[in-house]
A and B are shown apart, each in its own frame.
Chain A
């Protein structure tokens, strides 16, 4: 059975920091920029955006078709506790699906992809969602800070109408430590780069790639596109030279310059960028590396990729949609610059049974449409009697995630635990349902009544290191 990618989607955060901004503070030199997270983003929120894009690209309207969700990340908010729960509820996945977090290495997304493809091949599942989402924490002033960025990409894996088929994989692994983060470490650490670059990244990639090529009997020049794990700008160039991969072959998959080292999302994002433009018949080689292991994946592009193009939010469109920020703003985003104050205590803790009861409808945006008057009551768990007509019969509906601002305000003085200025948006969604939520990625001076907005999942608060998620409005970011 041929198994491959039925659809894919990327998400690149809108905020960017130019590496020269970091160099201004800590010295050194830097070209290009890193995609960095807003205070209200994390691995989970990025994964959700990429997954929505992937489902749409694959033409999957019913999330019930998903049999598995595998997440590859190196920066989950929790060491114990899966990040998939919130993602699954937001997407509307079934509860009898297979869920697994893959972690501890920037190659985690590839490990997840291999597991999912195997599960489809084995007939255990028909269709899986595999996500790479990452924003590894780099200490201010460290080498890694100059490189680390954030982003996510999601693949729908299955055997029907695939845009790219996985032909072969090969792995090379050894006990090698270059980057690591131990229990209690806030930031990723690294060992002497002159040692780790050669014996870690380069040697493992050369071994895995040559191993795959000899296994399949192809030469590297037979691939139209090659993408390597991209911890910086130079390392991929070094292995490319040794493997005789040309800059032309690497062009589409090179993402480091624009968004940085996105760790366990890197290879998926690079592949997505290639899929955006590759044509049926193209051969694609993707080489991961992390923590002493390199996987090589060999894909062939298929005909459906052409048909699906108009459903795709491209990597390029995300890269182009950006807001450049300065170093202090960047530090705030990653939590390295924060006021010494206690956040306002929440009336309802994120841990409470309340969120367990209400989570699914709040993340997924489920409404209860009155069978009598048609008013959509929200949230359904609290509205068992229609507030407009007192009817008690409802039909479950999904709220639209797009709408136009009816009215709004921007609050400049919020208590500890909130961002200021904070936009509060009241919008009429495309189905006519009125919704109120916080705003994000909005310039206070640009908000206007009737402005189009979309609802995206974000981190709203944190209490005892437990995050609370909910949907917020942001200006429409990319068309489609």
Chain B
């Protein structure tokens, strides 16, 4: 018996990509409208009592002001409370988690959570200037690459994980992305393509990495008791967890797992009252190929050290034991930080309702449906991990079962 106090009744996405023609405000509006216009029984925006905006790097888009009002003030909802959440790569999922806490508290019945990120308005060099931020000595040169690549090195060293196995993650997620109309990239790649792509940060080639993507996603949640007002097929929040780890890289004890993920997953499984074997489908953080391999282990899909074999055996394929990243993941769909976690939740919403075919009316249904996972036990898992020192993770478990 899961937590199930909060239900998702609508989600909205925009097509992720290099959206040079769209303001941040436009992305936010489109995701929001997409959500409210696809609530099964219709939705009146006046029902929204509070909102959360998830945006990780507000300095990277034009207006640079990202207090809560930058959401509600731009979508005609000025007046209601709105809070800005920033929490590294799990920014979107943590925004969702905070909105759930707000609804579960009983203070609000209906809440909106929007995640958005402009990753391409600033030049790549400017985005990489993160390497000069933080502690000038201890974190000098620290970027996402330089935090995750050493994990790959150590995982290869300790468990014999191979470059081929890592490449298989990229191959699988790009294959899935072809079937997702919201995905940034929609083409298949081969292991050879990964190996031939430029070495970015050893041992990771370019195609071991997710792209920089603009995007926005929205979700409307309400207390579970009133979900039927909006839909006959609500998706319930069975549990969630958030874990942290030490701040600086040198303080980490373990470079073959993400301690924050393990902690977040433990809380989420416990709250949902299930184990990893109940998960039909998972949207996990594949910022780099190695990340997904380690996630399999951290989330309990396989034993420690077996992540490489898990992908090799096809266990995470669309028809595998637990399908992972049917949307194409960060690697194919893109990783607009604040939007990512909410987009993952949107994908799980469709997957668990078994209406991936529709995907809110985007794309060709006959193509879309190819990524529909066979829902057997009725649970989906969302996961992000990141932040400085990879010290921050959110796991959310959703279900199509009321009880």
Q: Which residues of A contact B (CB under 8 A)?
A: 341, 343-348, 350, 354-355, 358, 362, 378-379, 387, 406-418, 422, 424, 426, 434-436, 438, 444, 449, 460-461, 468, 470-471
Contact = CB atoms under 8 A, between A and B. Distances in A.
27 contacts: A343-B132, A344-B126, A344-B129, A347-B132, A347-B133, A348-B135, A355-B136, A408-B153, A409-B152, A409-B203, A411-B146, A412-B200, A413-B145, A413-B200, A424-B141, A424-B149, A424-B150, A434-B251, A436-B138, A438-B140, A444-B202, A449-B154, A449-B157, A460-B136, A460-B137, A461-B132, A471-B137
Given A411-B143, A413-B200, A436-B138, 6 more contacts: A406-B255, A409-B150, A409-B152, A409-B204, A415-B131, A424-B150
Contacts of A444: 202
A358 B138 CA distance: 11
Nearest to A350: B136
A422 B134 CA distance: 18
A33 B132 CA distance: 35
A346 B141 contact: no
B375 interface: no
B162 interface: no
B187 interface: no
Given A344-B125, A409-B145, A434-B250, A468 B137 contact: yes
A412 B125 contact: no
Contacts of B204: 409
B141 A407 contact: no
A346 B133 contact: yes
B198 interface: yes
Contacts of B253: 434
Contact of B249 (A415, A418, A426): A426
A470 B129 CA distance: 19
Contact of B246 (A387, A407, A413): A387
Interface string B179-218: 0000000000000000000111111100000000000000
Nearest to B157: A449
Nearest to A410: B202
B248 interface: yes
Contacts, number: 120
B157 A415 contact: no
B226 interface: no
B128 A413 contact: yes
Chain B at the A interface: mostly helix, strand, loop or mixed?
mixed
B151 interface: yes
B184 to A, nearest CB: 19
Given A417-B132, A468-B137, A408 B150 contact: yes
Contacts of A438: 140-141
A347 B153 contact: no
What is the predominant secondary structure among interface residues of chain A facing chain B?
mixed
B132 A345 contact: yes
Counting chain B CB atoms within 10 Å of each CB, the highest count among A350, A411, A434 belongs to A411
A231 to B, nearest CB: 38
A393 B153 CA distance: 35
A472 to B, nearest CB: 9
Contacts of A412: 198-202
A379 B146 contact: no
A462 to B, nearest CB: 11
A347 B151 contact: no
Given A379-B138, A424-B146, A407 B151 contact: yes
Contacts of A471: 137
Nearest to B132: A344
A435 B126 CA distance: 28
B143 to A, nearest CB: 7
Given A379-B138, A422-B141, A436 B133 contact: no
B150 A426 contact: yes
Q: Please indicate which of the listed interface residues B143, B152, B253 has the most CB atoms of chain A within 10 Å of its own CB.
A: B143
Given A347-B134, A422-B141, A470-B137, A411 B153 contact: no
B313 to A, nearest CB: 26
Nearest to B206: A413
- Which 4 residue pairs across A and B have the least CB separation, nearest first? A409-B149, A344-B129, A347-B133, A470-B137
A378 B249 CA distance: 11
B129 A415 contact: yes
Contacts of A417: 132
Contacts of A418: 131-132, 141
Contacts of A411: 141, 143, 145-146, 149, 200-201
Contact of B128 (A409, A414, A426): A414
Contacts of B202: 409-410, 412, 444
Nearest to A405: B153
A461 to B, nearest CB: 7
B140 A347 contact: no
B49 to A, nearest CB: 38
* Most A C-beta atoms less than 10 A away, residue of B141, B142, B157, B249: B141
A387 B251 contact: yes
A110 to B, nearest CB: 35
